[in-house]
Amino acid sequence: MQHFNKVLTLVLGLAAFTGFSAQAQFDDDLEPGFAISYSGPTSCGGIVQFFSVGGNPQAQVNWDITFSTGGSFQGTGNGLTVTFPQGIGVASVTATKDTEVATLSVPYGDTAPAKPGVIEGHRRVCDRVRNYSISAVPGATQYTWTAESPYKIIHPVTEENVSSYTGPELDVFLRFPKSGSYTDVKLFVFASTGSGPCAASSPTRHKKIDFGPQNDFSLTGPDTIVRFENATYILSAQKITDLTWSLPSGLLYVSEPSENTVVVEAAGDAVGYVTANFLSCGESRSVSTFVRVIPETNIPRGGVASTLEVLPAAELYPNPAVDEVTVRSQGFLEQVSVIDLLGQEVKTLTGLSGHEAKVSLTGLQAGTYFVVAVDTEGKKVQTLVIE
């Protein structure tokens, strides 16, 4: 028999964990060289038999086995029986016959379960008690649940409030504080194959849970609406009740508000706030966004640019005003005009100099106007409210 002087390394996966016998494999066209095979369970404390395969049948085999969790074993002979240690690790097996060396790596202990799936349950909570659950993890026999303070887990047997619980349950009940507001407090869970030195654990899954009245709400929508056009406003909020909307005069509902969305029409002059009012865990909350109606872009403006809303702003004070308003600009003022929402100039000052001009509002009705200031830097616009 021809012998080969070589090193053979075999890394065995699932077969090692399930206790199946494993044999060295060779190409059918080649005479086998020196190698190692084994049989027996490699689980915690399992008894495993190692065998030498091939090589000089007359030569003595020397064995050296080292365990990654500590300890080693040496022996001689064509076979060797070894009791694996308590723990999870890898056995490095080396067999030497004459000048030939064979090696084998054998994992031992339990296989770690997969990370649990998504934790099902409410993200935002107002109630004192809520249930959270996961799906079963293959290979796992128990689950460890842990809640960050001030949340507590209700022990399924004693019904005591505990911070952590380990058992076969796929769900737990959380108890929340009597009052207060908390954000992003976490609930953790991981799966394991049991307890003891040979047990293996999965990576940890967590879920963020908010309790009590919250304040992280927002209302999005345009700050200007062209007259007779529609606009949509959307409230970003979860776990709210009793939602109502308020609109400034001149805005009308196109249809009944749907969930957290409202569609309005700019039916007339308007400047003010679109506001959503609601309850968060029983406490009143509101969020608003400013809006103003601008004239239709195809209405003549007596020489004033039709896109007033995109021009840089002048400074007005006071605003709202009653009898008089002061216009301030960084450049030297040349002309100031007051324009109503129909695009008509109702006041004009010319031949100005300096950075400020006072405009009398006598004779103008209460409402919303545009003040257009022309200075050495260009044309600027600001919305003016007359009371």
Taken in order of first residue, the domains within the chain and their CATH numbers are 7-108 (2.60.40.10), 124-211 (no CATH), 218-294 (2.60.40.10), 308-386 (2.60.40.1930)
- Judge residue 297's burial from the number of C-beta atoms within 10 Å of its C-beta, 0-12 exposed, 13-18 middle, 19 or more buried: middle
> Among 269, 343, 345, 274, which Cα is nearest to 308's?
343
pLDDT of residue 163: 98
Question: Could you tell me how far CA 52 lies from the centroid of its own chain?
Answer: 54
pTM for this prediction: 0.55
Per-residue model confidence as pLDDT tens digits over 256-284: 888 899 999 988 777 889 999 999 998 99
Q: What is the pLDDT of residues 319-374, one digit of tens each?
A: 888 889 988 887 888 899 888 876 678 888 888 888 888 999 988 888 888 888 88
372: helix, strand or coil: strand
Judge residue 106's burial from the number of C-beta atoms within 10 Å of its C-beta, 0-12 exposed, 13-18 middle, 19 or more buried.
buried
- Model confidence over 57-78: pLDDT tens digits? 778 899 999 999 899 999 999 8
Give the residue from 36, 27, 33 showing the smallest Cα distance to 4. Answer: 33
Compute the distance between CA of residue 309 and CA of residue 163 in angstroms, rounded to an integer.
57
State how far the Cα of 99 lies from the Cα of 78, in Å rounded to an integer. 16
For 141, phi then psi, to 5°, come to -115, -15
Does position 210 have pLDDT exceeding 50, yes or no? yes
